Amino acid sequence: MATRVGVVVFPGTNCEMDVVHAVEVLGGSADLVWHGDRSVAGHDAIVVPGGFAHGDYLRTGAIARFSPVMEAVRAFADEGGPVVGICNGFQVLTEAHLLPGALQKNAGLKFRCATVTCRVEHDRSALTHGVAPGTELALPINHFEGNFTCDAETLARIRANDQVVLRYVDNPNGSVDDIAGVSNEAGNVVGLMPHPERAAEAILGSADGAVLLRALLTAARTRV
């Protein structure tokens, strides 16, 4: 049976079908989970995709955090279920305190739309399961608020715990310590600014994102 991925949709989410397509291309099955739903039952993994949840009003992710589905996502994560937030989804997961830190406006006030090289830093997260540390991936970024920040104490802790999942080789947005993606302490919740779903097939210019999404499908399957 195919690994079942639930893709959360808030009002203003706009990358959900890209994620569904990429998951299906990789042999998984995916369906949309509306933000008003109170359950994520029946899924092996949850992806919070990119976009502008609730219009990014107040702060990116600030309102989305209180959508009914987020209680179910939190419970799923607490049980060890793999949860991945991409771009705006990363912002939502930090606001929900499922991930450390916060995303602030890019240094230089520039919206960045580019393909960047990211280095996998460790393989103990749901998104890098089985991927050799040091692997470099070409992934697209597309954001204005992707500048990861946290206080010095948090930075020391996430480095010591191997929670830095991905680093930019050439930092495009000012993120502290070149961080492109982080996980929670257990490694089952991961957030990243690059869009692996937009680089999951050679026809898109890079298939490197498939490395991460395939790892997610494997992590989800082996947990069950």
Partner 1 sequence: MRFEAQVEVTHLPGVLDPQGATVERALPALGYTNVSCVRIGKSIRLVVDAPDAEAAAAQVDEMCHRLLANPVIEAFTVEVVALQEA
Catalytic residue among 87, 95, 129, 150: 87
Check residue 94 for interaction with partner 1 (CB under 8 A): yes
Instruction: Tell me, by CB under 8 A, how many residues bind partner 1.
Output: 19
In terms of CB distance, is 54 or 195 closer to partner 1?
A: 54
Q: Which member of 101, 140, 191, 194 binds partner 1 (CB under 8 A)?
A: 101
Give catalytic status of residue 143 as yes or no.
Answer: no
Q: Which member of 24, 31, 136, 151 binds partner 1 (CB under 8 A)?
A: 151
Check residue 58 for interaction with partner 1 (CB under 8 A): yes
The least distance separating partner 1 from the CB of residue 164, rounded to whole angstroms, comes to 17
Give catalytic status of residue 197 as yes or no.
Answer: yes
Check residue 67 for interaction with partner 1 (CB under 8 A): no
- Distance between CA 162 and CA 159 in Å, rounded? 5
For the chain, first and last CA: distance in Å? Answer: 12
Handedness of CA 185, 189, 190, 191 (dihedral sign): negative
Task: Find the DSSP H helices in the chain.
Answer: 16-25, 69-78, 88-95, 152-160, 209-223
Check residue 178 for interaction with partner 1 (CB under 8 A): no
Alpha-carbon distance values, 116 to 4, 64, 102, 199 (Å): 29, 28, 21, 11
| Burial annotation 130-155 (CB, 10 A radius, 16+ → b, else e) | ebeeebebebbbbbbbbbbbbeeebb
Check residue 153 for interaction with partner 1 (CB under 8 A): no
Give catalytic status of residue 195 as yes or no.
Answer: yes
Check residue 147 for interaction with partner 1 (CB under 8 A): yes
Residue type, 1: M
Distance of CA 157 to the CA centre of its chain: 20
Tracing tokens 């608020």 back to the chain, one arrives at 145
Q: Which member of 68, 80, 108, 133 binds partner 1 (CB under 8 A)?
A: 108
The least distance separating partner 1 from the CB of residue 147, rounded to whole angstroms, comes to 7
Positions annotated as catalytic residues are: 87, 195, 197
Binding residues (CB under 8 A) for partner 1: these are 58-59, 62, 66, 94-95, 101-102, 104-109, 147, 149-151, 174
